C-alpha cells in the first residue's frame, strides 16, 4: 500500500531506539483486516471464485455451450453435479464460466469507474471554481437518473460485447466515487503538508499524486471494493433483461432468466447461478465492511 518515503530511512536510526516496532498505515490496516473473521471468509470466497474463473477460461467439465448432454431439465447427478438446463447444457460448467464474466465485469467496471471518479473528483476538489461547478453539476444531474436505464440505453447505443458492458456500467458508476474523492480532496488540500508543498513550489500534478491521492486512498479502496458487487449485480440485471452479453455466453443473470420459465419444474437451473451470484456479492460486501473497519477504525460500528 502506501510506500514509505525514502527520508524515513535516514531518520530511522535514531527512531528505532525509541520505538520498539514500526509499521506503516497499510500494514496496520492489513493486521486489523486479518483479525476480522467475516472479511477473511469473504477474501477466501473471492479467491475461490477467482481461481474458478481462471480455470474456466482453459477448462470446464463440459464446454459451456455444448447442448443435449443428457435429458433436458435433468436434476443434479454424478455426471452433472448441478444438473442440466433447458438445452441440456451442464450447469456446473456454465456457473464456472459465469464466474469469469461476473468477476471480469465487476473488477473491470469498478476499476474504470474508480479511475474516472478519482480523476474528475480530484480535479473538482483541487481546482474548485469553474471546474468544480461543471463537474458537480454533471454529477448532480446524473445522480437523479436511474443508472440501470442509462446503462440499458448505452448498451443499445454501443453494443453488447463484454467491454461495452463494462463501459456502460462504469459510465454510470463513477458518480459516487467522484463525489467521495471531491470531498476528500477539498479537505486534504487545506492541510499543512499540502500548503508546505505548495510553498516550496511543487507542481500541482505532483501535489495531487504524491500528497492528496495517497491520503485519500483509504476511503477510495473501500468504495472501489463496494463498486465490484454493485457492478456484478448490474451485469446480472442487464443479462436478466436480455440486454447483457449475448448468448451463448454463460452469464449468471442470463442463466437465471432462461431458467425462470421452468422455475416450478426445475428450480435448480435458476438456483445455481443465483446462489453463485449472491455468494460472490456477499463475499465482496464482507471484504468491503472489513476494509472499512480496518482502514478507519474510528468508523467501526
Partner 1 sequence: MSRGTLVYAAQRLVLITVTAVVVSSIVFIGIHQLPGNALASERRNNPATEAALLHHYNLDLPWPQQYVLWVQGLAHGDMGESLVNMGVQITPLLLREARVSVTLGLAAVLITIGVGLTLGTIAANTWVDYVASTSAVVGYSVPSFVWAFLLILLTVSGFYAWTGGLVYENIGWGKIEQIPVPALALGLPYAAIVARLTRASMLEVIRQDYVRTAWAKGLKARVVILRHSLRNALIPVISILGPLVTGIITGSVVIEYIFGIPGLGQEFVSSILSRDYNIVIGVFTFYAVLIGLANLAVDLIYPVLDPRIRY
Is residue 85 a contact partner of residue 91, using CB atoms and an 8 Å limit? yes
Considering the rule CB under 8 A, would residue 145 count as an interface residue with partner 1? yes
55 binds partner 1 (CB under 8 A): no
- Supply the minimum distance, in Å, between the C-beta of residue 180 and partner 1: 14
For 159-165, the CB contacts below 8 A with 24+ separation are 160/243, 160/244, 160/245, 160/246, 161/245, 162/101, 162/104, 162/105, 162/245, 163/108, 165/105, 165/235, 165/238, 165/244, 165/245
Least distance in angstroms from the C-beta of 223 to partner 1: 14
**Under the criterion CB under 8 A, does residue 298 sit at the interface with partner 1?**
no
Q: Across the strands, what pairs with 84?
A: 90
**φ, ψ at 90 (rounded to 5°):** -75, 120
Work out how close the CB of 217 gets to partner 1 at its nearest, in angstroms, rounded to a whole number.
Answer: 24
Judged by CB under 8 A, does residue 41 bind partner 1? no
C-alpha grid cell for residue 127?
Answer: 481546482
What is d(CA 37, CA 43) in angstroms, rounded to the nearest whole number? 10
- Indicate whether 142 belongs to the interface with partner 1 (CB under 8 A): yes
48 binds partner 1 (CB under 8 A): no
Question: 161 to 220, contacts with partner 1 by CB under 8 A?
Answer: none
Q: Rule CB under 8 A: say whether 147 interacts with partner 1.
A: yes
Three-state SS for 71? coil
The distance of closest approach from Cβ of residue 237 to partner 1 in the complex, given in angstroms and rounded to an integer, is: 5
Binding residues for partner 1, rule: CB under 8 A, are 38, 140-142, 144-149, 152-153, 156-157, 229, 233, 236-237, 240-243, 256, 260, 263-264, 267, 270-271, 274, 277-278, 281-282, 285-286, 289, 301
Amino acid at each position: 500500500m502506501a510506500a514509505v518515503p525514502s527520508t524515513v530511512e535516514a531518520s530511522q536510526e535514531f527512531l528505532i531506539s525509541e520505538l520498539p516496532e514500526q509499521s506503516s498505515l497499510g500494514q496496520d490496516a492489513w493486521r486489523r483486516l486479518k483479525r476480522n473473521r467475516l472479511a477473511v471468509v469473504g477474501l477466501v470466497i473471492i479467491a475461490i471464485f477467482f481461481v474458478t474463473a481462471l480455470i474456466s477460461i482453459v477448462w470446464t467439465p463440459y464446454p459451456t455451450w455444448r447442448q443435449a448432454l443428457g435429458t433436458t431439465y435433468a436434476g443434479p447427478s454424478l455426471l452433472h453435479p448441478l444438473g442440466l438446463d433447458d438445452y441440456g447444457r451442464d450447469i456446473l460448467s456454465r456457473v464456472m464460466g459465469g464466474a469469469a464474466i461476473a468477476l471480469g465485469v465487476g473488477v473491470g467496471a469498478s476499476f474504470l469507474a474508480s479511475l474516472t471518479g478519482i480523476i474528475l473528483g480530484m480535479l473538482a476538489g483541487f481546482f474548485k471554481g469553474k471546474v468544480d461547478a461543471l463537474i458537480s453539476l454533471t454529477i448532480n444531474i446524473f445522480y437523479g437518473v436511474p443508472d440501470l436505464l442509462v446503462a440499458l440505453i448505452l448498451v443499445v447505443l454501443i453494443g453488447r460485447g463484454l467491454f461495452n458492458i463494462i463501459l456502460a456500467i462504469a459510465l454510470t458508476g463513477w458518480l459516487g466515487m467522484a463525489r467521495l474523492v471531491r470531498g476528500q480532496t477539498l479537505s486534504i488540500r487545506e492541510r499543512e503538508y499540502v500548503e508546505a508543498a505548495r510553498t516550496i513550489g511543487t507542481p500541482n500534478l505532483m501535489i495531487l499524486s504524491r500528497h492528496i491521492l495517497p491520503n485519500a486512498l483509504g476511503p477510495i479502496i473501500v468504495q472501489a471494493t463496494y463498486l465490484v458487487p454493485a457492478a456484478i449485480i448490474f451485469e446480472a440485471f442487464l443479462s436478466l433483461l436480455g440486454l447483457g452479453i449475448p448468448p451463448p455466453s454463460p452469464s449468471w443473470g442470463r442463466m437465471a432468466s432462461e431458467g425462470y420459465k421452468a422455475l416450478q419444474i426445475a428450480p435448480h437451473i435458476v438456483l445455481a447461478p443465483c446462489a453463485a451470484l449472491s455468494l460472490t456479492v456477499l463475499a465482496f460486501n464482507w471484504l468491503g465492511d472489513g476494509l472499512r473497519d480496518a482502514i478507519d477504525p474510528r468508523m467501526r460500528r
